[in-house]
Structure 1
């Protein structure tokens, strides 16, 4: 507990020193997001509630916190919020199909020993829970890319107010291409960092490459990374188009 408190204080101080008011709001938003996720879990325990619907509502609330609470309500955050919702809605169709085909829901056999004393008949649809997990895992990266592109395009429009819609859109796409590579690699290395002990365990158990790839734990995380990467790739043209269309249209009017 003392270590957690010390690290929290260090993070809070650094965020204030570097980010000022925005940094302080970002730190507070961590607790708000944690509260939203806990409420989401509680609602998912109700068998009469669709976990995917609850997850979509939670993603919308989390996006509001990360965008409007930190950066206030303005054209930049509104565009990023709209882009995030559109991307999540499109991505949901893919995620729902993938989870049904791959059957990655539930727990892997490597976790059976720890779960043996407990009953798994908890009355929830694990297929939908699996889809919800992937959606929640992607929301952070998608929101980050949306606000980054929107902010950069806003600066471009500010310094070049007469720029055409096409050139502004292409500017957003170029910014997105630079973000795409770093974000997908961040997701990839976050997986290996978090599951390095599991991979070492696979090696000690003499798992073949095929057994590792077909392991439910491994494949579910890789699928999450791919879905998050697809979401990051999708939001780049969506955000660029929305952020190029409406400001230029408002300028013409």
Structure 2
């Protein structure tokens, strides 16, 4: 009877969390995206299409000029538009390739059956338009991989796997439909980060583990680690004299909303905190779950022994998670760092570039947050799990 009652409570809680999370994202988007124009392209219409037939190729040689000698190859083909107002219409289009840059030969020519993105542009000096190849349509392959990932989650994780998929969907929805428009509309980035972290932590843990002591201990551990990361980032932003102009994209961001310009330093803060949040949640959950199981299987364990065991578990987790963060940041900015190495006059110039400093700051801040999340979660676990037994 008690088991059925607990299951019913879990189901009710799941429905409530899903309903509230959906409402937060829906109304949050209505507020944060109010008056914001995104995905507006003034140069033409972008549509998907399927390549039907390759008509032919033309090669032209460009001799002299500031860019040197290079060849441009124009591939003419027909394609059927697969979305938009012209869906089903067959059009003539072109793809232009050149060998101006080393490695340009890796760009593949279109072939029959390819799914692509097309753009309709005006022919200079005329009132006519033409269709040009923009890029390959790749999201169908990504959806297939995401589907395989979701299937594995369900097969290996069962109900928790399904809950993980739902929580990932809500996290994605909040970040891209609430937090990003919030920033682009010029609202306070720091408040947006706090809201994103709170939403992600509470929603994820309630969906996956329910309203249990383990969940609340994990929430407290996550909150403590996130506060540490925020504090370190805020202090270091001041001492490092960061401007937020880490690359050319930062410059473009300042032009998105001239009336309410984006706070670039706050963007750096947000990137570091959100980047570290996942690792912080992992560490807090691993330790909280391990100590919960230990306290359940060894009912007479003392606070001191539980904390001692937790610290040993935490020390094993810290190293791998810190490595995970550092490697993730290195991998995400590898091309940019290689370019900076090539064009930097000295090691001092390289290491003091804002892009490199921010990457190092991300890795170190995340690692410090992980290091302190572990003992803080251990102490919280000891107080909650042992207090439960009246000792």
CA distance in 1, matches of 2:341, 2:360: 18
CA drift at 1:189? 0.9
CA drift at 1:100? 2.0
CA drift at 1:206? 5.2
Higher relative contact order (CA 8 A, sep 6+): 1
- For structure 2, the 5+ residue unaligned runs are 1-138
CA distance in 2, matches of 1:87, 1:191: 19
Does the 8 A contact of 1:96 with 1:128 survive in 2?
A: no
Does the 8 A contact of 1:145 with 1:179 survive in 2?
A: yes
Question: In the alignment, which residue of structure 2 is the partner of 1:119?
Answer: 255
CA distance in 1, matches of 2:252, 2:147: 39
1:12-67 CA deviation, whole Å, 9 max, x = no partner? 111111111111221222221111112012223344x4321221121011001221
Runs of 4+ more than 6 Å apart: none
In proportion to residue count, which structure has more helix? 1
Does the 8 A contact of 2:284 with 2:373 survive in 1?
A: yes
Question: In the alignment, which residue of structure 2 is the partner of 1:190?
Answer: 328
Three-state SS of the structure 1 residue aligned to 2:244 is: coil
CA distance in 2, matches of 1:97, 1:242: 26
Pair member with larger Rg: 2
Is 1:144–2:282 an aligned residue pair?
yes
Q: How high is the TM-score relative to the length of structure 2? A: 0.60
CA distance in 1, matches of 2:336, 2:203: 34
In proportion to residue count, which structure has more strand? 2
CA drift at 1:71? 1.8
The number of residues matched between the two structures is: 250
Q: Structure 1 residues 116, 18: CA separation in 2 closer, same or farther (over 3 Å shift)?
A: closer
Three-state SS of the structure 1 residue aligned to 2:389 is: helix
CA distance in 2, matches of 1:149, 1:40: 29
Question: In the alignment, which residue of structure 1 is the partner of 2:267?
Answer: 129
Q: How high is the TM-score relative to the length of structure 1? A: 0.90
- For structure 1, the 5+ residue unaligned runs are none
Question: In the alignment, which residue of structure 2 is the partner of 1:7?
Answer: 145
